[in-house]
Amino acid sequence: MAYENVSAAYNFDLFRDNTAPKLPGDKTTEKKTHKNKTKVVTLPQDEIVRIRRRKHNPFRVFVASVTGALITGIVAVIIIGQVQLTELNQQIITAEETLRNTQSTYTQVQMAVQSKLSTSEIERYAKDKLGMNKAENVQNEFVSLSEGDKAEISEDANQNFFQKIINAFTGLWS
C-alpha cells in the first residue's frame, strides 16, 4: 500500500491555485478527483436559515438587559451628581462675589459714618448750625451730696384696713 501525500482531515487541493502552470512530471499539483466525491456541499435553504439563526437564551437576555439598565442608571446618577455639583459651585462663587461687594459697601459706609461722627465735625455742626459754644468753667455747677443718701417710700392713701395690717407686719421684718 502506497502512502499518499493527502491528509485525511484536510484536503489542501481545494485551496491551491489552479491558474499556476503545471510542470512536467510534477504529480503533486495535479488534481486528484474521486468519482463519487464532490468538493462543495450544498444544503437546503431551510437548513441554512436554521443554522444562521442565532439561538438566544432567555435568561442571558434578561441578565444582559438588567446589566445594561444598571450601567445606564449608574452613569445617569453620576452625570446628575456632577451637574448638581457644578450648579452648587456656581452658587458658591456667586455668593462669595456678593459677599465681597457687600463688605466693600459696608467699609465705604462705615468710613462715611466715621467721618461724619468725628468730634471736630460734631463741634463744627453745633457751632455753625445750632449756634452752640463750648462750656466754660464759669458755667459749670458742682453738686455736693455730703448729707448722705436717703430713700423715701410713698404710701398709697387709698389703702384699706387689711392692707395696712399686712404692710405693718412686712415692715417689722424689713
pLDDT in tens, the chain (174 residues): 455 555 556 666 666 666 655 665 555 544 554 555 557 777 788 887 777 777 778 899 999 999 999 999 999 999 999 999 999 999 999 999 999 999 999 999 999 888 777 788 888 888 888 888 887 777 777 777 666 666 666 666 677 888 888 888 787 776
Residue 155: inside a domain: no
Residue 165: inside a domain: no
Report long-range pairs for 48-56 (Cβ below 8 Å, ≥24 apart): none
Helix then strand count (H, E) for the chain reads 4, 0
Report long-range pairs for 28-35 (Cβ below 8 Å, ≥24 apart): 32/6
Residue 1: inside a domain: no
Residue 1 has a pLDDT of: 46
Residue 30 has a pLDDT of: 47
Which parts of 18-128 are beta strand (E)? none
Count the domains in the chain. 1
Domain extent for 75: 39-125
